[in-house]
């Protein structure tokens, strides 16, 4: 049985290279600085990476189609300052208050309306850029480089050069700063674990129904058990933190990642994106509308940019003039590190999440070791290049 497990592991080794890299990074920093393994830091690290990781889930699709989106940093920044402005100037709150809504209800309703407007704003940015790319056929690099500058200006125009503080709405700030009660974390984990096991057996039953050979049950169960153990381990640890509980933002990230991962493999939208990136001509001759697909990809990216923008405003607690600056490069780096081919056709949502986690782990580790921030970018740059080179070499050896 052990041999079977090892064989299955060897077969999937490439998918685990990233995870192994992550473990090595954690071990290294943990040994050098024990605080790296503290409950507070583990709670922090997932929270800090969330804003980048949410956008990486959309960027995977963009890069898979062979495109790029340079506008996501300032795009998310623009959305975040809009959110901050609406809260700062009480644009939503004032009319609601005059309708007699007050107290906690007022905060919740205001927050919800702001969230909906902001995600719609993000999607609208996607519609705009997506139309230009898909229908006017301006290359994505150019279109989104334009967007980069446009939304940067947008930020400055909205803020008028000053920071807009969100002081009146703690419900809104909960999105990125709050933790769910420890017991709720456990409940969610139990439900997730039960679902995972049910899915293993359900998938096998359906495969048998269609006469498809089923995989090794032991290996599938071992894999599920590992996931469940990691999940519970995480819950136990974050529940011990100074402010106990799973960060709400991490919950949002998990939801986005699961959804986008599903979309990438189980919907036409996802499959067409991979086909277009893999061979555009073959996809076109297979009756796929390239324009419609590309357009949808950029709209999705835009909507996720909106989600990140909402979270960014809540995380910082204000709308600042530098909001989102440089995020686009972290998002792209996460995807590439996670196995996206810059030429298109390859990449996974799961990989991009791990990529984002690796980037964040490096940043935090270097900070905790008091490495000068002047040097940190250089180290991250070198790691990025090395990682991609190693990945390419592995692939060549396989072929």
Partner 1 sequence: MELDAFLEIKNVTKEFPGVTALSDVSISIKKGEIHGLCGENGAGKSTLMKILCGVYPYGTYSGDVVYKGKVLRLSSDSIHQAMREGIAIVYQELTLIPLMTVGENIYLGKEPRIGPSIDWNKLYSDSDEVLKRYKLPIVPHEIVRYLGVGQMQMTEIAKALSENADVLILDEPTSALSEAEVDKLMEILHTLKSLGVTCIYISHKLEEFFRITDTVTVMRDGKVVTTQPTKQLSLEKLVNLMVGREMKERFPKGNRKPGEIFFKVEGLRAIDPADPSREVVKGVDFELRKGEILGIAGLMGSGRTELVTTIFGEYGLLTAGKIILNGKEITIGSAREAMQHGISLVPEDRKRLGLVLIQTILSNISLPNLNRFASFMRINGHAEVAEAEKFSKSLSIKAPSVHVLAESLSGGNQQKVVISKWLMSEPKILILDDPTRGIDVGAKFEIYKLMNQLAEQGYAIIMISSELEEVLGMSDRVMVMWEGRSNGTLGIAEATQEKIMARATGIEIA
Give the binding site for partner 1 (CB under 8 A).
Answer: 203, 206-207, 209-212, 265-268, 271-272, 274-275, 278-279, 281-289, 345-346
Q: Closer to partner 1 by CB, 11 or 162: give it.
A: 11
Nearest to 341, CA basis, from 140, 144, 68, 137: 68
Q: Closer to partner 1 by CB, 273 or 313: give it.
A: 273
Q: Closer to partner 1 by CB, 161 or 209: give it.
A: 209
Give the chain's length. Answer: 399
Q: Closer to partner 1 by CB, 265 or 373: give it.
A: 265
Q: Closer to partner 1 by CB, 88 or 274: give it.
A: 274
- In the complex, least distance from residue 288 CB atom to partner 1, rounded to whole angstroms: 7
**Where would I find the H helices in 267-289?**
268-278, 280-285
Q: How far is CA 275 from CA 23, 146, 272, in A?
A: 33, 27, 5
Nearest to 357, CA basis, from 376, 337, 377: 337
- In the complex, least distance from residue 317 CB atom to partner 1, rounded to whole angstroms: 36
Q: Closer to partner 1 by CB, 153 or 203: give it.
A: 203
Strand pairing class (318-319; 164-165): antiparallel
Q: Closer to partner 1 by CB, 136 or 285: give it.
A: 285
Nearest to 72, CA basis, from 157, 158, 144, 175: 144
* Helix 248-266, helix 39-64: angle, nearest 10: 30
- In the complex, least distance from residue 14 CB atom to partner 1, rounded to whole angstroms: 13
- In the complex, least distance from residue 296 CB atom to partner 1, rounded to whole angstroms: 13
- In the complex, least distance from residue 271 CB atom to partner 1, rounded to whole angstroms: 6
- In the complex, least distance from residue 204 CB atom to partner 1, rounded to whole angstroms: 10
Q: Which helix (H) or strand (E) holds 351?
A: helix 349-368
Distance of alpha carbon 64 from alpha carbon 298, whole angstroms: 12
CB 305 within 8 A of CB 75: yes
Dihedrals phi, psi of 338, to nearest 5 degrees? -80, 10
- In the complex, least distance from residue 160 CB atom to partner 1, rounded to whole angstroms: 43
């Amino acid at each position: 049985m052990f041999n079977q497990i090892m064989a299955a592991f060897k077969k999937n080794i490439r998918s685990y290279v990233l995870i192994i890299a992550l473990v090595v990074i954690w071990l290294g920093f943990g040994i050098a600085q024990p605080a790296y393994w503290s409950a507070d830091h583990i709670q922090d690290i997932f929270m800090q990476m969330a804003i980048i990781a949410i956008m990486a889930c959309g960027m995977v699709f963009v890069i898979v189609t062979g495109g790029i989106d340079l506008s996501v940093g300032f795009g998310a920044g623009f959305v975040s300052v809009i959110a901050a402005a609406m809260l700062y100037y009480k644009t939503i709150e004032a009319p609601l208050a005059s309708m007699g809504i007050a107290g906690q209800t007022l905060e919740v309703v205001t927050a919800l309306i702001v969230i909906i407007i902001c995600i719609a704003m993000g999607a609208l940015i996607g519609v705009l850029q997506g139309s230009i790319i898909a229908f006017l056929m301006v290359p994505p690099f150019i279109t989104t480089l334009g967007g980069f500058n446009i939304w940067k200006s947008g930020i400055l125009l909205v803020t008028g050069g000053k920071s807009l503080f969100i002081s009146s709405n703690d419900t809104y700030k909960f999105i990125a700063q709050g933790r769910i009660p420890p017991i709720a974390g456990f409940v969610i984990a139990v439900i997730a674990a039960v679902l995972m096991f049910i899915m293993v057996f359900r998938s096998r039953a359906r495969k048998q129904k269609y006469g498809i050979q089923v995989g090794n049950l032991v290996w599938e169960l071992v894999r599920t058990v590992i996931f469940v153990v990691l999940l519970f381990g995480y819950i136990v640890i974050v529940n011990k933190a100074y402010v106990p509980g799973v960060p709400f933002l991490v919950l949002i990230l998990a939801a986005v990642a699961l959804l986008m991962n599903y979309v990438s493999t189980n919907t036409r939208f996802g499959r067409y994106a991979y086909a277009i990136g893999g061979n555009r001509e073959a996809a076109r001759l297979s009756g796929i509308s390239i324009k419609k697909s590309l357009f949808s990809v950029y709209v999705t990216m835009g909507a996720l940019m909106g989600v990140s923008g909402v979270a960014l405003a809540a995380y910082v607690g204000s709308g600042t003039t530098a909001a989102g600056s440089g995020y686009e490069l972290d998002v792209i780096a996460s995807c590439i590190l996670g196995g996206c081919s810059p030429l298109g056709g390859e990449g996974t949502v799961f990989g991009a999440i791990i990529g984002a986690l690796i980037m964040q782990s490096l940043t935090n580790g270097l900070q905790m070791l008091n490495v000068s921030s002047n040097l940190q970018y250089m180290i991250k740059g070198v790691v990025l290049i090395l990682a991609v080179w190693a990945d390419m070499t592995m692939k060549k050896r396989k072929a």
